[in-house]
Amino acid sequence: MVLCIRIIPLVSLLLAAFSPGAFAAGKAHHVVVLVWDGLRPDFVTAELTPTLWGLAREGVTFQNHHPVFLSATEVNGTALATGAYPTHSGIMANREYRPEIDPLKPFGTEVLSAVRRGDALSHGHYLDRFTVAEILQRKGRKTAIAGTKPVALLHDRADRESAALPSPNLYEGQTLPTNLLGRIVQLQGAFPAAEKTKIKRDIWTTQALIGPMWEGEIPAFSLLWLSEPDFSQHETGPGSETSLAAIKGSDDNLAAVLRALEARGVRDRTDIFVVSDHGFSTISRKINVAEALKKAGFNASREFKSPPAKDDVVVSSNGGSVLLYVIGRDSGTIDRIVRFLQSEEYVGVLFTREPVKGAFTLEQAKLQTANPPDIAFALRWTAEKNTNGVPGMVFSDDPNRSAGQGMHVTLSPFDMHNTLIATGPDFRRGIVDPLPTGNTDLAPTILWILGVKPPKAMDGRVLSEALVNEPKGKPPALNRIERIETSRDHERFTWRQYLIYTEVNGVIYFGEGNGFATPK
């Protein structure tokens, strides 16, 4: 049984008014989005990020910003690109199992070969929604996508070989069209090797965007995806000396972008968003879900040597969350696995494809895609601090990470609270927006600014309360804060879990969730 508790009544926040159905162009001619992968909002300070701090003072700080769950890069890269929850975008994890793409093991959802195979199988609908770049290109507007990480491919994946194509994509040192890479390398050298940090790679990608990719004219829409501080935080933990230096490096790249806009005389005609895809935590303990399931009598594996048989379990690790695919989808097997997991100390919140006692459904978390797992669960978190004094500790199923290193993808508030700051001619000056906002809101806001209506309704909303324009219409309102709970009695304990979300004008934002077993 799921208990739904209303914490507060309907409350209206009478800020700027806007009707989501109306699409009138803003003042900006250009929109630039910079993604600082994994930046927690508590690391935005005058000392550490002076450039971003300055932007926040002149624009809007979104105080209550959220990723979609799973709080992972590819999932939120897709949410930023499409304005859609996973249930509508088709991407719910960094690593998923789809036997038509790979029958033996999970695959990276951003990998070029998987993207091409997915598009071939779905007649071009690997993503179930068009991206901002695709929508603008179909309206004759130029775009430029540049990412140190391959997630940039998900924003604009069209295969093309013409160097004359006005909308290039640079992703992890590769380009579409492919012959654009030679020109970039000639100007600034080869894509740097990964070192202790990826600061050099971020600099290279930034220079490629503001240099050859912006040559001639700055496109209507540009996106720059930096790999820091995510990479350094994964390696050394949030708040480490290395991670703080990586944050400073991202701030330097932001400064380089602002200088380029100033030099071209378009800074006052450009709206700038600085956003992170998710927050971050520290690993308290490493676990192995596949091994735990094997010991409990299930034939579970991260990878099979031959196609799995009925009741075999494919385990897809996503660090702070795990997806389980039960071959044949036998309800009895799924229920036994859920019962087992409810007894494990590392389990936080359980979700299932079909209703199971003591779990939420995938649909409740906006995760019901066309290729869903049978069970998905976020690992447990605490608010304890790491050795750097940074709160947020989580269990991790990542085989390549250990205690003390960084992780995300849980339902911890430290993972589910990320950064968004915006400034430019369309944004109010020097305000803090207290309303809940999310990564799904950037796409509809960008399209509204550029005067383009999406071909299909988006899950996010236009961030009207932050805009200078105040067209007539319904003002944004905090409709509710909800805490849903469910439980299940076992012989020696009772399992309980909860999930908290907020709603603004019909848009849902997940804030946190956790679970625990209480001895009888």
Q: What is the pLDDT of residues 125-143, one digit of tens each?
A: 999 999 999 999 999 999 9
pLDDT of residue 2: 38
Residue 411 has pLDDT above 50, yes or no: yes
Residues in the chain: 520
pLDDT of residue 194: 85
pLDDT tens sequence across 414-462: 999 999 999 999 999 999 999 999 999 999 999 999 999 999 999 999 9
What percent of the chain shows pLDDT beyond 70?
94
pLDDT of residue 475: 84
Q: Which domain does 244 fall in, by range?
A: 1-520
Question: Which residue, among 12, 30, 68, has the nearest Cα to 508 in the 3D structure?
Answer: 68
Question: Which residue, among 342, 349, 376, 341, has the nearest Cα to 517 in the 3D structure?
Answer: 342
pLDDT of residue 360: 98
Average pLDDT for residues 320-327, to the nearest whole number?
98
Instruction: Take residue 308 and report the two structure tokens written for it.
Output: 């799995």
pLDDT of residue 23: 56
pLDDT tens sequence across 388-401: 999 999 999 999 99
pLDDT of residue 61: 98
- Mean per-residue pLDDT of the chain: 93
Residue 5 has pLDDT above 50, yes or no: no
Average pLDDT for residues 480-491, to the nearest whole number?
97
pLDDT of residue 287: 98
Residue 80 has pLDDT above 90, yes or no: yes
pLDDT of residue 162: 59
Sequence-distant (≥ 6) Cβ neighbours of residue 290 within 8 angstroms: 300, 301, 302, 315
Average pLDDT for residues 367-380, to the nearest whole number?
97
Provide the pLDDT confidence category of residue 25 given band limits of 50, 70 and 90: confident
Beta-bridge partner residues of 487:
496
Specify whether the CB–CB gap between 288 and 319 falls below 8 A: no
Instruction: Say how many domains are in the chain.
Output: 1
Provide the pLDDT confidence category of residue 471 given band limits of 50, 70 and 90: very low
Specify whether the CB–CB gap between 66 and 509 falls below 8 A: yes
Task: Provide the total of helices (H) and of strands (E) in the chain, helices listed first.
Answer: 12, 26
pLDDT of residue 12: 31
Provide the pLDDT confidence category of residue 470 given band limits of 50, 70 and 90: low
Q: What is the CATH number of the domain that holds 356?
A: 3.40.720.10
Per-position DSSP letters for 15-42, written without gaps between them: -S---TT-----S-SEEEEEEETT--GG
Q: Are strands 30-36 and 270-275 parallel, antiparallel or unpaired?
A: parallel
Residue 489 has pLDDT above 80, yes or no: yes
Least confident of 158-162, 329-333, 349-353, 386-390: 158-162
Q: Please give the Cα distance from 237 to 390 (Å, whole number).
A: 9
Average pLDDT for residues 177-192, to the nearest whole number?
94
Per-position DSSP letters for 307-367, written without gaps between them: ---TT-EEEEE-SSEEEEEETT--HHHHHHHHHHHTT-TTEEEEEESS--TTSEEGGGGT-
What percent of the chain shows pLDDT beyond 90?
91
Residue 323 has pLDDT above 80, yes or no: yes
Sequence-distant (≥ 6) Cβ neighbours of residue 391 within 8 angstroms: 383, 384, 385, 414
* Higher-scoring residue by pLDDT: 79, 11: 79
